Chain A
Amino acid sequence: MKEKAGPLGGAEMVAGPDEVREAIASLTEAESVKLKRLADGAAYRLRRHVPGTDGNEILQVAIHRVLENKRHWKPQKVDFVGFLGGVIASIEFDWRKQGKREEMPVLEADLHASNADGDEIPNAIQRAVDYRLTPEQLLIESEELTQEELFQQIEALFSEDALASLIYSEWRRGTKGPEIMKALDLTRTEYDTAVRRMDRAIQKNWPEGMPHVR
Chain B
Amino acid sequence: MSADTNPSKMDLRTLFGNLAESVGQASPEDLLAEAKAAGQDTEKIAADVKTTLLDAVRGFEQRKLHAARSAYRTRSTARRTRHFVMPTTPAERLRMLTDAATKDKRVARITAKYRDLKELSDEDVQSALEDLMELGAFDDIGEQNGDGNK
1/0 per residue, CB under 8 A from A, across B29-63: the answer is 11110110010001101111110111111011100
Describe A's contact surface by its main secondary structure: helix
Give the nearest-CB partner of B11 in chain A.
A147
Contact segment of B16-24, B89-97, B98-106, B120-128: B16-24
On whether the beta carbons of B34 and A63 are closer than 8 Å, the reply is no
Describe B's contact surface by its main secondary structure: helix
Mark out the residues of chain A between 143 and 182 whose CB falls within 8 Å of any chain B CB in the assembled complex. Answer: 147-148, 150-151, 154-155, 165-166, 169-175, 177
Question: Size of chain B's interface in residues, with CB distance under 8 A?
Answer: 49
Question: Size of chain A's interface in residues, with CB distance under 8 A?
Answer: 63
- Asked whether any CB of chain A lies closer than 8 Å to the CB of B15, the reply is yes
On whether the beta carbons of B45 and A32 are closer than 8 Å, the reply is yes
On whether the beta carbons of A195 and B19 are closer than 8 Å, the reply is yes
B46 to A: closest C-beta gap in Å: 4
Q: List 12 A-B contacts (CB under 8 A).
A: A28-B46, A29-B43, A32-B45, A34-B28, A37-B23, A37-B31, A45-B20, A60-B55, A147-B11, A171-B10, A177-B21, A192-B26
Binding site for A on B (CB under 8 A): 1-4, 6-12, 14-16, 18-32, 34-35, 38, 42-43, 45-50, 52-57, 59-61
